[in-house]
Structure 1
Amino acid sequence: MITPKKIIGTVKSATQMGESSVRTVIWAGLGAYSKGTEQVGMAQHIVSKQIQDLVSKGSEVETEMVERIKDTKRGLFGQAESQFNHAFNATCGIDRDRFSNFEDKVDRLQEMVEKLAEKSK
């Protein structure tokens, strides 16, 4: 027969097992929360480092790209100038360098004429 003492003992035992189970579940939950926050912190650190690495690499690539663009620009301007000189020579029969020298000579001649005009006043 079941006595009140056995019932109380069984209830206490079940209560202790329940408390132990609840405590275990709570601790497991807190442990999971703690582990999760640690992993989030580590993930943030890793992501931050990766972003810094990408920014650094991007800065290096930008410098390289700027140099390539400058080189390409110089090359294109050189080709354009060469083609212009060729077209100018083909249409006018005058070499562009010789034309520039001619302009310089005309400018110097004009200065000389202006100086002579001032002296004769």
Structure 2
Amino acid sequence: MPIVGIGTDILSLTRIHALVQRRSCDHFAKRILSDREARVWETYREVELSKKVRFLAVRWAVKEATYKALQPLYKLTWKNVSLLQDPSSGSNKPWIAIDSRLGCSYTLHCSISHDGDYVTSFVVAEK
């Protein structure tokens, strides 16, 4: 299958931490998370701040990489992209879902890494 786009993003956790300090984690989460991701976010109520920041940063990086991989084919919003776990893999393998109302017919492959203060994501879109 032909590759139609690639996208990558790197993000400092310090940047996301500063954003959530200005308002709150919940405010930032409401701004960037899809409905499906928001349901997972609800399970993070009692989790320490650093894990909340990492959760949000990973989703931010994946969404940015997805936008880059699908431009100019689609004009996505934050809430059009969901980072989920692949239900068929039986593991924590990342899976990207695009809002079905957009009719996206591309297969998206994602890799995520985090080390220290950084999160990185790489997305490949194929036909």
Shorter-chain-normalised TM-score: which range?
A: under 0.3
What TM-score comes out, normalization by structure 1 length? 0.21
TM-score (norm 2): 0.20
**Higher RCO, 1 vs 2 (CA within 8 Å, ≥6 residues apart):** 2
The higher radius of gyration belongs to: 1
